[in-house]
């Protein structure tokens, strides 16, 4: 019946695109900010869910319970905070740290929950390596204390160097992040070059070997997880195709298994992919029914989902027009050498380098006539490339329907040529124009065309990078909230024009004369969410935290060490593992 | 005959240990320093080789030709240098850069040549990604110029900020190495937080994504190379076993293939592994001859090399003495709970953490009585662990011949206990002793025992790390030589006690007031080989080079950029790929 075909078509189409209808009905682009700010929405959602979903199912789902607990804790926190503030006590909005958990627990956070699960699975192994890593840091600290502690060395600030064990542990931990290299080693190195060997061995073991081992552990776990995911996907695809087969099957011969006839198969394929050509469809059928029996069994039917994804392009091999017109010339030795040169890898690389040089020239001084005229040279080179390619490749194949990029390339070069001519005409008639914006657009498009293999890969991993973005934002949010509680208002930024002398020490006398103030880091503070987030990005790259320990207490360093462990050792490594895997699949 | 058996035994033994007799006759520990310094040795070697090896073979080997060319170039360089010096002209010992090539081209440099080959294979792909990466840096530089160039911003030194295109390119390149983060972004960030987003996107793309892609490309190539190597190894092993089989084979049945009888097989196995027990040998035979025919074919014989590598341990399962003596108590619920707890993973982790805390305590103030007495607590905990394990595991199995680590553990704890008792006795009788050295030894041994899985892996990758060490040293040597030509004597270090005022600006007025002098980096110079090497290690970690551009010319930065590309992007990534692969094999 019609309904059967529709149902089968839906199964096949789902299998073809690995869709999961149950989940995809809710929009993926989570309205994150709204969700973070508006607890009310969550309550309404939850009440709505509780009404729709059967009671026992609702209470069995840990997500719902988690949301209820968070909502209640937040409410309690708000009441306590209000009461304490009203009676002028010091109050802490501790529940803010819980907010990201709301984000993680809603349906739209599925990707995010998956990423969290992947981290949780890797944690025991990471912890084990981390223990050994901490041992190594501690042993090296002990050795440093014994080697350097009693030599009376001083740092540039005149403070005693490597005399306190816990300070040494912290300094050597920061050395792993490379933030205080080479400063931490200079006093010892100035005393004798022999001590430099100690630091070199330390860096080799703890920065290079251990950080690689962390990556190895995280990557290994990630691969395991990914394999399981692919296995599930394949299973789901097969399951759907089997269900489609069950709808369409009929018993043809006695004793034989159930089959799908060519007529039914054709109808389903036409429903799934209405724009498929008859030739293409018949090709697919002949692949499935390789014994020419007029019907196919389950095994042959199941592969349809993958077959539909294969793109079929018909290519006609035609000789080059020059070849037909004047073969003696086109087949002569110099002409053939030219063809070989243009088809060589080095030709592509040469033009890549030409574009690179062009990109350098664009940024240089516009007023210099040599640089201003160089654009003509570059344009001539680009035109030459197109002409050479047209000479070597058959023009109709070069400009065929499927060779989108060749069209694009020619279009870009010709429009750049026109723009340059128009521009120089306007300029010579006295009008002012800036070529550079035009040039940037040009270089951007040309280079994006050149490197489309890599760029396509980067674009393909884009959505997953967004998942990592969410993950990072959740973790940053928690640290921003804790950081704001700990350090809010301790470091202040004054505009340069304000003339306030406190600007020289970030509004905190404790920072007077410190590197933090000298390097003008005052805007790196936890005073609001935006600057907290920017500071956390900086801390991810280089863990600079001496300023915050100075304005509060030495133990504030623990906050920065935990941040480094969680973000750099765990999350950034997962990100690297992810990029690695994405590239291995592509290459 | 006896000779046949000996020959077969040598083949099997070679296959078992993947030995390659032809290469292993020359000592691996290359006498590197001697080889570097003494050209004469090379000449003598070469003359000797030329006499021993047939003439046509000698001239076909690129290694020999390479050595001859280098020797001749070095000689020419020495003559030119001497002549120029004699006539008081400026002379350059340029041939020094070639010296490492000598090291690479001798027989002992086989590992090193292999590493170089692996790099050379990866270069085209790295170059392609590098082009795109440079594009990205250039495009971001152009955008930075447009965004920030005309706002009149100033750096902390009061210099104009982001107005020169090539300066921006360099600054953003250094940002990729994280060396100038967050300083390079602070002026823009101070102007408006919106500009921080520009830098965050830049870091995401160029520091995180591109550096991961470089790792991916290098790693991918490395894996390919490794697979080929393993394949060759397996082939060589098979080849040797087939030759051993050819020596021993006999025709037993008519029409059947050649076989090796059990008697011959036994004789060979006894020759290869004289200490093998009869039971073990019979077990191996029964694995090979699974049809009990008294003889084995080629296929079964070939696997002998792998079978010999399998360790066979006989374990007797005996009940615990407590179980036999008083089962009611030993099998009671609390006793079984205790057993389960001790066998749980958390028990191991708990004790790992206890050792970690112990390592922290050792470094703290010895005079504090609480800390001084804590060692008794730790010792009691370690003793408790051994007692608990003896309670749970069968003591004879725990202290069996194969459980070396259990013996070791018990020995360490008991000797630490005795040492602590002796020490406190000496102390209470007024003698001075330092417990800390003892403690460090103790912690080192205990932790090495604890983490033996990871440490074994690290030890196993040790020899390969040495190969990388050679590779790095060759590259460092070239850069040290070039660096010494460019920067020798430009930066000088004065001892603090010398009282020379030039020490404040490293003996070069151009450095007066620069960060380089302020941070006391004077000893980071290229004045001799040792300080050059230490400086290059520092540059590998964090690419700090502003000082050297200041004392010579802006273009000196090119030296540091090339160093970063070669060492960090190529070699360090190969190192990371290598550690990753080593861990994937182990885990
Ligand atoms: Na760094």
- Tell me the pLDDT tens digit for each residue of A226-246: 777 778 888 888 888 888 888
pLDDT level of residue A316 (50, 70, 90 thresholds): low
Question: Pairing mode, if any, of strands B258-261 and B250-251?
Answer: antiparallel
- Identify the residue with better confidence: B246 or B55: B246
Nearest to A487 by CA among A479, A475, A496: A479
> What integer pLDDT is reported at residue A21 of this predicted model?
39
Query: How is chain B split into domains, by residue range?
Result: 2-112, 113-230, 321-450, 462-586
Q: How far apart (Å, rounded) are the C-alpha atoms in residues A410 and A375?
A: 17
Contact B97, B132 (CB under 8 A): no
Most confident of B419-423, B518-522, B523-527: B523-527
User: Hey, are the CB atoms on A142 and B440 less than 8 Å from each other?
Assistant: yes
> What integer pLDDT is reported at residue B31 of this predicted model?
36
Lowest mean pLDDT among A477-481, B218-222, B460-464: B460-464
pLDDT digits (tens, 9 = 90+) for B269-302: 888 888 888 888 888 888 888 777 888 888 888 8
CB count in 10 Å sphere of residue B377:
12
Torsions phi, psi for B162 (to 5 deg): 55, 50
Helix (H) or strand (E) holding B296: strand B295-296
Q: How far apart (Å, rounded) are the C-alpha atoms in residues A488 and A508?
A: 12
> What integer pLDDT is reported at residue A254 of this predicted model?
67
Q: pLDDT at residue B310 above 50? A: yes
Closest CA–CA distance from residue B158 to any residue of chain A (Å): 12
Question: How confident is the model over B394-420, as a mean pLDDT?
Answer: 76
Contact A151, A123 (CB under 8 A): no
User: Mean pLDDT of all residues in chain A?
Assistant: 77
User: Hey, are the CB atoms on A440 and B146 less than 8 Å from each other?
Assistant: yes
User: Hey, are the CB atoms on B447 and A132 less than 8 Å from each other?
Assistant: yes
Question: How confident is the model over A129-133, as a mean pLDDT?
Answer: 85
Q: How far is the CA of A423 from the centre of ligand 1 (A)?
A: 45
Question: How confident is the model over A257-283, as a mean pLDDT?
Answer: 84
pLDDT level of residue A90 (50, 70, 90 thresholds): low
B349 contacts in A (CB within 8 Å)?
Answer: 127-128, 131
- Identify the residue with better confidence: A396 or A141: A141
Lowest mean pLDDT among A4-13, A276-285, A451-460: A451-460
Lowest mean pLDDT among A293-302, A436-445, B69-78: A436-445
Q: pLDDT at residue B530 above 60? A: yes
What spatial distance separates the first Cα and last Cα of chain A, rounded to whole Å?
46
User: Mean pLDDT of all residues in chain B?
Assistant: 77
Contact A480, A525 (CB under 8 A): no
Lowest mean pLDDT among A455-459, A518-522, B389-393: A455-459
Torsions phi, psi for A11 (to 5 deg): -60, -50
Question: How confident is the model over A261-271, as a mean pLDDT?
Answer: 85
What 3-state class would DSSP assign to B20? coil
> What integer pLDDT is reported at residue A31 of this predicted model?
36
| CATH architecture assigned to A462-586 | Orthogonal Bundle (1.10)
What secondary structure does DSSP assign to B121-143, as a single string?
HHHHHHHHHHHHHHHHHHHHHHH
pLDDT level of residue A387 (50, 70, 90 thresholds): confident
Closest CA–CA distance from residue B261 to any residue of chain A (Å): 45
Number of H helices, E strands in chain B: 31, 3
At B269, list the tokens.
């196995």
Q: How far is the CA of B470 from the centre of ligand 1 (A)?
A: 25
Contact A451, B132 (CB under 8 A): yes
Contact B492, B507 (CB under 8 A): yes
> What integer pLDDT is reported at residue B447 of this predicted model?
63
pLDDT level of residue A35 (50, 70, 90 thresholds): very low
Q: How far apart (Å, rounded) are the C-alpha atoms in residues A194 and A192?
A: 5
Q: With pLDDT > 90 as the criterion, what percentage of chain B qualifies?
A: 0
> What integer pLDDT is reported at residue A50 of this predicted model?
73
Question: How confident is the model over B228-245, as a mean pLDDT?
Answer: 83
CB count in 10 Å sphere of residue A316:
8
Question: How confident is the model over B327-353, as a mean pLDDT?
Answer: 85
Q: Which residue of B has its CA nearest to A518?
A: B156
Question: How confident is the model over A51-65, as a mean pLDDT?
Answer: 72
User: Hey, are the CB atoms on B363 and A156 less than 8 Å from each other?
Assistant: no
Between chain A and chain B, the number of residue pairs with CB atoms below 8 A apart is 231
Q: pLDDT at residue B449 above 80? A: no
Contact A387, A322 (CB under 8 A): no
Q: pLDDT at residue B104 above 70? A: no
B531 contacts in A (CB within 8 Å)?
Answer: 193
A534 contacts in B (CB within 8 Å)?
Answer: 189, 193, 196, 200
Q: pLDDT at residue B20 above 60? A: no
Q: How far apart (Å, rounded) are the C-alpha atoms in residues A102 and A46?
A: 12
User: Hey, are the CB atoms on A541 and B139 less than 8 Å from each other?
Assistant: no
Closest CA–CA distance from residue B104 to any residue of chain A (Å): 23
Question: How confident is the model over B177-181, as a mean pLDDT?
Answer: 80
User: Hey, are the CB atoms on B196 and A534 less than 8 Å from each other?
Assistant: yes
Q: pLDDT at residue A204 above 70? A: yes
Q: pLDDT at residue A96 above 50? A: yes
> What integer pLDDT is reported at residue A434 of this predicted model?
55
Choose from A345, A503, A583, A586 for mutation: most chain B CBs within 10 A.
Answer: A583
What 3-state class would DSSP assign to A253? coil
Here the contacts of A431-437 (C-beta below 8 Å, separation 24 or greater) are: A434/A366, A435/A366, A435/A375, A436/A362, A436/A366, A436/B142, A436/B146, A437/B146
Closest CA–CA distance from residue A403 to any residue of chain B (Å): 22
Lowest mean pLDDT among A79-88, A423-432, B118-127: A423-432
Q: pLDDT at residue A266 above 50? A: yes
Q: How far apart (Å, rounded) are the C-alpha atoms in residues B243 and B256?
A: 19
Q: Is A260 exposed, middle or buried (0-12, 13-18, 19+ CB in 10 A)?
A: buried
Q: pLDDT at residue A19 above 60? A: no
> What integer pLDDT is reported at residue B29 of this predicted model?
33
Lowest mean pLDDT among A21-30, A168-177, B225-234, B441-450: A21-30
Q: Which residue of A has its CA nearest to B439?
A: A142
> What integer pLDDT is reported at residue B446 of this predicted model?
66
Nearest to B557 by CA among B149, B167, B160: B167
Nearest to B236 by CA among B24, B20, B23, B28: B20
pLDDT level of residue A25 (50, 70, 90 thresholds): very low
> What integer pLDDT is reported at residue A109 of this predicted model?
60
Q: pLDDT at residue A22 above 50? A: no
Q: Which residue of B has its CA nearest to A218?
A: B580
> What integer pLDDT is reported at residue A110 of this predicted model?
63
What secondary structure does DSSP assign to B381-395, as a single string?
HHHHHHHHHHHHS-H
Q: pLDDT at residue B70 above 50? A: yes
User: Hey, are the CB atoms on B359 and A135 less than 8 Å from each other?
Assistant: yes
C-alpha distances (whole Å) from A531 to each of A475, B278, B361 are: 15, 75, 38
> What integer pLDDT is reported at residue A453 of this predicted model?
65
A363 contacts in B (CB within 8 Å)?
Answer: 138, 141-142, 145, 165-166, 168-169
pLDDT digits (tens, 9 = 90+) for A136-162: 888 888 888 888 888 888 887 788 888
**Minimum-distance CB partner of A364 among B165, B203, B209:** B165
> What integer pLDDT is reported at residue B97 of this predicted model?
67
Most confident of A266-275, B31-40, B424-433: A266-275
pLDDT digits (tens, 9 = 90+) for A473-516: 888 888 888 888 888 888 888 877 777 777 777 888 888 877 78
> What integer pLDDT is reported at residue B34 of this predicted model?
42
């Amino acid at each position: 019946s019609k309904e059967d075909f529709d149902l089968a078509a839906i199964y096949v189409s789902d299998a073809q695109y690995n869709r999961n209808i149950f989940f995809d009905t809710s929009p993926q682009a989570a309205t994150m900010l709204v969700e973070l700010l508006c607890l009310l929405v969550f309550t309404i959602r939850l009440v709505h869910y509780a009404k729709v979903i059967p009671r026992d199912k609702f209470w069995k789902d840990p997500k719902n319970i988690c949301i209820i607990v968070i909502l209640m804790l937040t409410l309690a926190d708000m009441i306590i905070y209000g009461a304490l503030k009203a009676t002028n006590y010091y109050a802490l909005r501790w529940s803010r740290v819980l907010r990201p958990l709301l984000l993680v627990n809603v349906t739209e956070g599925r990707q995010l929950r998956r990423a969290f699960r992947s981290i949780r699975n890797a944690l025991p192994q990471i912890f084990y390596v981390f223990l050994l890593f901490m041992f190594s840091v501690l042993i090296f600290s002990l050795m440093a204390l014994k080697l350097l502690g009693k030599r009376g060395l001083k740092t540039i600030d005149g403070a005693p160097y490597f005399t306190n064990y816990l300070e040494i542990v912290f300094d050597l931990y920061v050395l792993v992040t490379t933030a205080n290299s080479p400063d931490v080693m200079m006093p010892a190195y100035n005393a004798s070059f022999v001590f430099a060997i100690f630091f070199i061995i330390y860096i080799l073991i703890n920065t290079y070997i251990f950080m690689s081992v962390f990556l190895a552990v995280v990557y290994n776990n990630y691969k395991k997880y990914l394999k399981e995911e692919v296995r599930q996907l394949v299973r789901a695809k097969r399951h759907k195709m089997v269900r489609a087969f069950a709808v369409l099957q009929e018993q043809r011969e006695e004793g034989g298994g159930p089959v799908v006839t060519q007529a039914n198969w054709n109808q389903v394929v036409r429903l799934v992919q209405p724009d498929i050509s008859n030739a293409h469809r018949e090709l697919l059928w002949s692949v499935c029914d390789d014994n020419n029996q007029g019907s196919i069994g389950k095994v042959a039917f199941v592969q349809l989902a993958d077959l539909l994804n294969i793109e079929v392009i018909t290519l006609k091999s035609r000789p080059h027009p020059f070849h037909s017109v004047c073969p003696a010339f086109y087949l002569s030795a110099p002409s053939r050498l030219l063809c070989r040169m243009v088809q060589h890898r080095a030709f592509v690389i040469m033009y890549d380098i030409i574009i690179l040089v062009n990109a350098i020239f664009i940024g240089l001084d516009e007023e210099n006539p040599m640089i201003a005229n160089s654009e003509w040279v570059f344009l001539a080179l680009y035109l030459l490339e197109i002409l050479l390619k047209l000479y070597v490749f058959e023009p109709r194949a070069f400009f065929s329907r499927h060779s989108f990029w060749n069209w694009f390339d020619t279009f870009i070069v010709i429009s750049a040529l026109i723009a340059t001519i128009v521009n120089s005409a306007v300029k010579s008639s006295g009008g002012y124009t800036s070529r550079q914006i035009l040039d940037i657009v040009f270089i951007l498009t040309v280079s994006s065309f050149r490197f489309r293999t890599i760029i396509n890969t980067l674009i393909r991993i884009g959505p997953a990078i967004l998942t990592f973005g969410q993950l990072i934002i959740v973790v940053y949010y928690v640290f921003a909230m804790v950081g704001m509680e700990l350090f809010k208002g301790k470091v202040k930024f004054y505009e340069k024009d304000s003339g306030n002398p406190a600007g020289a020490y970030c509004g905190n006398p404790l920072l007077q004369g410190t590197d933090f103030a000298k390097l003008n880091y005052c805007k790196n503070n936890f005073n609001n969410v935006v600057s907290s987030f920017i500071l956390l990005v900086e801390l991810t790259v280089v863990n600079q935290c001496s300023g915050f320990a100075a304005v509060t207490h030495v133990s504030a360093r623990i906050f920065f060490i935990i941040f480094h462990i969680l973000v750099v050792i765990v999350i950034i490594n997962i990100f690297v593992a992810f990029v690695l895997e994405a590239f291995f699949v592509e290459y």
